[in-house]
Chains A and B, each alone.
Chain A
Amino acid sequence: MAFPMQRELYLPTVPTLTVSSQMHSGLSGPSLGSHGPSGPMAARLATGKQAPVAPSRFSAASSSSAAVTVGSGPKTAAFSPYVLNGGTALALAGKDFCIVAGDTRMSAGYEIHTRNKPKTYRINDKCSIAMAGMQADATNLIKMLRFRIAMYERKMGKPMSTQSLAQLVSTTLYRRRFFPIYAFVVIGGLDEDGVGSVYGYDAVGSFERSTCCVQGSGTSLLQPVLDNQFDFKNHSIKPDELTLDESIDLVKDVFVSAGERDIYTGDSVEMHIITADGVRVETFDLKRD
């Protein structure tokens, strides 16, 4: 695997007590943390604390250590095109079903932008996509995908299969290898045989098929739990595979748990339940704290 896995990229940033300059710096003048003479340059003193751990060269531009000295003037925190809006998305694949779910909280730093922005997108009767990461990039990505999916359907006269979509997402992400789309995608759907399938990606398009994948700020909390409780990894005696209803309950449980420990996960969850009958959408509430 030539590319860093998304989980490495997704080390949660530790919020500091400084009010994030990304949030307000230029917008309301100099940062809280700036000292000394102010003036038109004062705003430049702002140092980004809420740096998303963005891929490669851009992480420098937005991290707190990125301030560069221009001549003898004050330090400049350059514009960062990336923000991390948090949130958790996941997908589970059963024998004849798939569940795609994401919470609806959208944050930036300590601020909750909105409590109702779903991360799940229905593609067709056989699959849905969920995305965490940067909302603007994710929205743009889904627009690009929707366009290419529509073109495919017009040309081929049939809906796109989950496998084809999986490859399309990868190439779409990789096209932006050197200005990555800061979105972490998971696809859930049924394959050509009607078996549940899940594909998980990193920001630049590396992907693999699995039966359960978590993306976003809750990854480190939920992925090991699901590995154990859905895939029964490390169990010497494998219990029976979870049924659809048991899987739905598990999804609810893990989201409630993520909501307890991860400040970026909460408010509510939108869940797409995909079976041979199509996609059913369910929502349930999480704590809003």
Chain B
Amino acid sequence: MSSIGTGYDLSSTTYSPDGRVFQVEYASKAVDNSGTAVGIRVSDGVVFGVEKLLISPMLLHGSNRRVSTIGRHIGVASSGLVADARALINRGNQEANAWKSTYGEEISVKVLTERLASFAQVYTLYGGVRPFGCALLLGSWTEAAGPQLYMIQPSGEAYGYFGVAVGKGKAACKTDIEKLDLESMTCEEAVVEIAKMIHSVHDSDKDKEYELELSWVCRASGGRHQLVPAELRDSALAIATAESSDDDSSSDDD
């Protein structure tokens, strides 16, 4: 890496001569190295899928979740350093509570995204602090605003998306998402698509076992962020596994 040894990567207080802040870029690397996280915005809600890589076969199923909730109505899928993500999510919960006690209604995901992005950006300015090594996907569904999906990066940038993927398998997932007809798709269909994507980008040779976390916030869940019901999750996973083994056998035939 060109940055190494130049001294410009030791602190985010100093630009490199060509205008880069290396500490922020390294933080993005932490995100790129993590298990894939996908969020897609479809007609009736937002669906999240996370490939949670299991660091040990002794882990309790469902522990150390990478999907979480801010308030009750905003779903968050995180990638990168999960501990960093949790700090950001805690901040998000504070913002959501403060908003609700002031205005008596839930904070919108747009406002929350802006505030968290500003919060994350502050950590790219000073010595003695380290940028957040995580990216967050935030989504919500309300009757008035419909589905909304945003992503916050370690740099403090945040954009709204129709579909977004981060982590190891993001390139392949993005290609897959672009092929989908998001406008007409329902959340139930999206769950299957996400399961397929995550299953296909998971590199079972190189990586450890993974647990598929699926959650949604949609019309059916009443605008609340919830885990996808176990039945639907299992059937989606079964479809994904079946398809990939079909692919394997067909390639064998060739």
Direct contact of A and B (CB under 8 A): no
Residues of B near any A CB (own CB < 8 A): none
